[in-house]
Amino acid sequence: MLFRDTTHDYHAFTHIPNHFPMLFRDTTHDYHAFTHIPNHFPMVFRDTTHDYNAFTHIHNHFPMLFRDTNHDYHAFTHIHQHFPMLFRNTTHYYHAFTHIPNHFSTLFWTTTNDYHAVNHIPNQFPTLLRNTTHDYLVFTHIH
C-alpha cells in the first residue's frame, strides 16, 4: 500500500512522515535491513570515511524516525546534514535508486505495487538526483 499511483506516490513521498509511520513494523527485520544498508550500497557515498559510517549508524541518527510526526519532520529535514554528498553522481545514483527494491524487496508488504513503484522512483522523481544544490533543497523539504 506504500505506493499506489503516481499522484499518490508524489504526495506520499512529499509527506513521508505522515505516510510512513508504520513502515518498520517488524522491528527485528527492518532494523537489521536499515542497519545494513551500506552493505547493499557501499558505493553510494564518495566520502567513505564519513558517509559509510553515517549510513551504517543511520539508526543512531534516526532511532525514532517513524514514531511521531514531529520527530520525523525534524529528522527528515536534517538528513542533508548527515548525507550532504548523497547525490553527486547522477548516473550511479540513478542506478542505485532504481535497484533499491532488489535489495529491499521484502521491505514492502504489497510487493506487486510497492516493488513496481520503488523501482520507478527515478521516473517519478527525475529531478531528485540532479545536483547538490537541488538535492539539498529536496531533502530539506522532503516532508
Q: Where are the domains of the chain?
A: 6-140
Give the amino acid at 18.
N
Give the helix/strand (H/E) hosting 103: helix 100-103
Q: b/e string for 11-45 if b means 16 or more Cβ within 10 A?
A: ebbeebbebbeeebeeeeebeebbeebbeebeebb
Query: Is the pTM above the cut of 0.75?
Result: no
Tens digits of pLDDT across the chain (143 residues): 333 333 444 444 444 333 333 333 333 333 444 434 434 433 333 333 443 344 444 444 433 333 333 333 344 344 444 443 333 333 344 444 434 433 333 333 333 333 344 344 334 333 333 333 343 444 444 33
CA distance 20 to 8: 13
CA distance 113 to 98: 15
Tell me the torsion sign for CA atoms 28, 4, 120, 75. negative
